Amino acid sequence: MILNPFSQDNRCREFWALKNVSFIIDEGDIVGVIGRNGAGKSTLLRVLAGVFPPDTGIVEIKGKVSPLLALGAGFRPDLTGRDNIYLNGILLGLKKQEIDAKYSSIVEFAELEDFIDAKVRSYSSGMIARLGFAIAVSMEPDILLIDEILGVGDEKFREKSRQRMEEFMKKAKAIVIATHNMGFVREFCNKAIWLDKGQVRAMGNPEEVVREYLNMH
Amino acid sequence: MGAAKRLVIVESAKQLFRRFDLVMYLVISHLKVNYQNLVLGYIWWVLNPLLWVLVYWLLVSVIFNRGQPNYPLFLACAILPWRAFATSISQAITSVSGQERLIKQVAFPKSVLPLSVVLSNSVNLLFSILVLIIVALAVYRIPPTVNLVFLPVIVLVQITFTLGVAFFLAAVGIYFVDIQNMMQFILRVWLYLSPSLYGIERIPARFRSVFMLNPFAPIFMSYRDVIMYGQAPALGPLSIAFLIAVGVLVLGFWLFSRQEQKMAKVL
């Protein structure tokens, strides 16, 4: 399963958010995308998610891509957790029967058994994040895209998320994560990309890329 | 350029059909969110037009003494369907611009947004038509006739037209937020220029053909023909309204699909 964009540019209002970004991602890769705010990390993830079609260049993805919706962006506060699971699941491309099958494991992973029938507007941000993560991961995507979320939830949940991500890796999937957490990149990623003002400043071994990035600041 | 044009609209339409389950869930969510309890929700939805019926009846029939026979029913046969149209397009304007966060996170055919708005209001429309038939029988002693079978046709014309306008306005609404205010006014004038408060006989003969170009002229008249007078609607004008509706739908959807790619960036 290869993710293969060449010369991918992406323009927002005559501003090129990404320029000449080219890379290949293979099965089993955990790619950390680092860079300052505004460097284009989120834009890159969005291009991979299909949210922005590239203005020039190609994005070739083999497999199902699932974005991690930041803090439940797809959630309707006036609906219950249950309704939102279905709505979000269908939004992410699952069929109703698939959601039925995964429903209890989603609720269990998010630890929301007692709250699932309450309206989401009563949830804490931690609960929303857990639910969002649980739904995205249950989709069993081939490629998981994460935009700086992994700081949410308590220690126990973070541990669970980490475990789930590791299971992910074993299934020969890929993860692309945009983050400021250099420790995470060093520890978990096997590839790193440093984006600076929309261009690739460095790419390759996480240890080296992180070092270069830190040397610049 | 022509071939590329056609491709976008076809691609968009195909994507829309592929994700129809998403449309259904959005419709249900829409009905649930706006109206926690579906029945109570419908009551709120129908209260507004009923109040207007009361006002117009008082004004036109009682004070000006110019009302048609069975004026409240006469009014309701136009005001209730109009409510579905007006609410659909008002909600359609912000259907895309209001979902900025979502659109920037997940790839999905944005056309599901205005479509689900129109469909959920159409559910209320269908309910209202049922209510009209029951009221016609219970209050005005007008028995239902076999011509009620034309109702799906009239509803189809209305929904087709509404969808076209909805797609168009949803696309425009991303760029011009003010269009909401304008539409309030335009809709009110449009209602008054349609045979809603009065019958078509009031329009001078020389203006009548222009007047009939407004799809709601044959639509309102057809609802009344079928529900109040137990006759078949005039199929000529209704067919023309349908052709206009289809034209508006194609145009509206085409415009929307052209903008669809850019929406995530522009919001």
Lay out the sheet containing A143-147: strands in order across.
Answer: A65-67, A143-147, A174-178, A30-34, A191-196, A199-204
Q: How far is A197 from chain B (nearest CA, A)?
A: 18
- Select from B93, B81, B82, B152 the least CA-distant residue to B117: B93
Q: Give the model confidence (pLDDT) of A149-178 as tens digits.
A: 544 556 676 777 777 777 766 665 788 888
Chain A residue numbers with beta carbons less than 8 Å from the beta carbon of B25 are: 86-87, 90
Q: Which letter does DSSP use for residue A45 in this model?
A: H
| Gap between the Cα atoms of B48 and B128, Å rounded | 13
Chain A residue numbers with beta carbons less than 8 Å from the beta carbon of B101 are: 70, 73
Q: How far is A145 from chain B (nearest CA, A)?
A: 10
* Residue B252 pLDDT: 96
DSSP E strand stretches across A13-124? 15-21, 30-34, 56-58, 65-67
Give the nearest partner residue to A90 out of B21, B104, B264, using CB atoms. B21
Chain A residue numbers with beta carbons less than 8 Å from the beta carbon of B261 are: 53
Residue A95 lies in a domain: yes
Chain A residue numbers with beta carbons less than 8 Å from the beta carbon of B22 are: 90-91
Residue A175 lies in a domain: no
Report CA-CA distances (Å) from B151 to B77, B93, B130, B195, B239: 12, 28, 10, 18, 14
| Gap between the Cα atoms of B86 and B194, Å rounded | 13
* Residue A168 pLDDT: 66
Computed from CA positions of residues B194, B198, B200, B204, in that sequence, does the dihedral angle turn out positive or negative? negative
Q: What is the pTM of this model?
A: 0.86
| Gap between the Cα atoms of A2 and B4, Å rounded | 29
Residue A88 lies in a domain: yes
Residue B107 has pLDDT above 80, yes or no: yes
Q: B15: which residues sit within 8 A by CB, 6+ positions away?
A: B109, B111
For B193, other C-beta atoms within 10 Å of its C-beta total: 13
Q: Tell me chain B's radius of gyration from C-alpha atoms.
A: 19
As a whole-number percent, the residues of chain A with pLDDT over 90 amount to 11
**Domain holding A130: CATH number?**
1.10.8
Q: How far is B194 from chain A (nearest CA, A)?
A: 37
Count how many domains chain A has. 1
* Residue B101 pLDDT: 82
B96, with CB counted inside 10 A (0-12, 13-18, 19+), is buried
Contact B105 A67 (CB under 8 A): yes
- Select from A44, A36, A42 the least CA-distant residue to A8: A44
| Gap between the Cα atoms of B134 and B80, Å rounded | 14
CB burial readout A66-101, b (16+ within 10 A) else e: bbbbbbbbbbbeebbbbbbbbbbbbbbbbeeeebee
**Would you say B237 and A29 are in contact if contact means Cβ atoms under 8 Å apart?**
no
* Residue B1 pLDDT: 45
As a whole-number percent, the residues of chain B with pLDDT over 90 amount to 70
Range of the domain at A90: 72-140
Q: Which residue of chain A is at minimal alpha-carbon distance from B100? A: A73
- Select from A33, A44, A2 the least CA-distant residue to A203: A33
Residue A23 lies in a domain: no
Contact A70 B21 (CB under 8 A): no
Give the nearest partner residue to A96 out of B21, B33, B101, using CB atoms. B21
Q: How far is A130 from chain B (nearest CA, A)?
A: 17
Q: Give the model confidence (pLDDT) of A45-65 as tens digits.
A: 888 888 888 888 888 888 888
Q: Give the model confidence (pLDDT) of B156-173 as tens digits.
A: 999 999 999 999 999 999
Report chain A (217 residues): mean pLDDT per 10 consecutive residues: 50 72 85 87 87 84 77 78 89 88 90 89 85 81 75 64 71 81 86 89 90 85
**Would you say A50 and A111 are in contact if contact means Cβ atoms under 8 Å apart?**
no
Residue A104 lies in a domain: yes
Report CA-CA distances (Å) from A157 to A16, A111, A150, A164, B112: 37, 9, 10, 10, 34
The residues that bridge with A193 in the sheet, in sequence order, are A33, A203
Residue A118 lies in a domain: yes
Residue A60 lies in a domain: no
Residue A132 lies in a domain: yes
